[in-house]
Amino acid sequence: MSGSSESSGDVKLDLSDVDKWVGKPVIFAELWQPCNGTDIRRWVQAMDYPNPIHWDEEIARSSRFGGLVAPQSFTVAMDYGHGCHPACVGRIPGSHLIFGGEEWWFYGSRIRPGDKLFQERRFDGYKVGDTKFAGPTVFTRGDTVHRNQDGVLVAKERATAIRYLVEEAKMRGMYDKQQRLPRKWSAAELDAIQRVRMDWILSNREGRSPHYDEVQVGQKLPRRVIGPHSIITFALECRAHRQNIWGTWRWNPPAGVYDPAKEDAGFDPNMTYDHEAGRIDPRKKDGLFYGPSSGHINADKGEKVGMGGTYGYGSSMNAWCLDTIAYWAGHEGYIWHSQTQFRSPAFEGDVTYIDGEVVEKTALSPYGFPAVKVQLKMTTQDGDTILTANADVQLPC
């Protein structure tokens, strides 16, 4: 879809600068070094995913993997931009962005310490809708293809970004600060949350994979809980992305190619990177203290972009989804495709409950072997749905 502007009443979106990037390669950035075991451990720690094959060296070495291996969710941490960046190109004056969803295709390769991924990114296009949150809203799509140092195809991601006008979102007040005051939890409530968390950890710590024949449609996955979310947990999630560590990446556009990642996206000056200043003070472009992601841990900045305070990362929600399904599927299981739709961020003070169910079995799937489809939903302590997902999962026969 293209057009110079889209409007809802008197509210208008200027999309003229977005149109010129549709279908084109974008975002030429590369991480300098391969990943290591600490990168993988930092990731699962931040995602609260205590699967021992991803952090316990002794258990990982005794497993079928023969050593530490990354979860499939870690692929996004091998990239620049949380997977979302190719969906955010072109200037939309007065706008901001939140993550809207992800679709992933995996191709059978596991990431291990010493691997490096190389990316090809393109801006696929967009559509315009009208939302309760911000009125006229642009849903943009960006694609990233990941290959490793041997040229092997590892994964493809299609990210959806939600770009909206800040002033319109603030006026509508869907996430008004007074409605988003962080929940305070009693000691008894926290104990109950921890019991659910521990039951989930113990549900498959040994990594047993259910066989295809023993799985039934309607079977429930063990319930998982994450939280309460806090500024601390949001900061840990941010720092688990390798790109958010000082000096880990570089721009590498081909000769003569202009990279729109450096172009002004139309964000408030208080919510943008300063790449030149970042050469001296790396905080200016580290994604935590400055930049469009800084509202996740800075309540004043979050309020200024219509979010009412601090809130979580879409990339983390997608990781929670993949990790939950992978834990149930065990060491012999593998997620070949997943699709998530984000309904709302995870806000400070909330907890996230994750529930899954097997909804379909296919004896001969498009992947060439038996697979099951799992549907997953994330809800708050109040029962509000913040994410829906489905995934195609290979299980042993």
What is the distance between the alpha carbons of residues 188 and 260, in angstroms, rounded to a whole number? Answer: 50
Cα radius of gyration rounded to whole Å, the chain: 21
Mean pLDDT of 52-72: 98
How sure is the predictor about 2, in pLDDT bands with cuts at 50, 70 and 90?
very low
Total domain count, the chain: 1
Residue 72: give the domain boundaries.
5-394
CA separation (Å) from 223 to 32, 210, 251, 356, 371? 38, 17, 42, 7, 21
CATH of the domain at 208: 3.10.129.10
How sure is the predictor about 53, in pLDDT bands with cuts at 50, 70 and 90?
very high
Lowest mean pLDDT among 103-112, 135-144, 242-251, 268-277: 268-277
> Residue 5 above 80 pLDDT?
no
Segment (H or E) for 339: strand 334-342
Segment (H or E) for 321: helix 314-329
Strand 11-14 with 224-226, pairing: unpaired
> Residue 132 above 60 pLDDT?
yes
Q: What is the pLDDT of residue 6?
A: 56
Q: List the beta bridge partners of residue 309.
A: none
